[in-house]
Amino acid sequence: MTRTAAALVWTEPRTGVPMKPMSQGLEAPSKLGFTLGNVVGMYLAQNYDIPNIAKKLEDFKKDVEAKKKPPSDKS
């Protein structure tokens, strides 16, 4: 690591070449993927009958509760 007058610069240990922050190159693809995912999700929600998973799970829990056996009285 070398220090310049402007800022702290991280360098490659063997070559002394300045290193870029890792997040700098990953910013654009992640934004593109997030945007594309949202657009596809909105399209699917508007044009297809997507099941409401929360409601299905709630119905499943009610069915399981209804099918539970009552405790047996063995005294």
One digit per residue, the tens of pLDDT, for the chain of length 75 reads 555 455 677 777 888 787 776 655 667 788 899 999 999 999 999 999 988 899 999 999 999 988 887 766 665
Strands 2-3 and 8-9: antiparallel
Dist. CA 12–CA 38, nearest whole Å: 38
Beta bridge partners of 2: 9
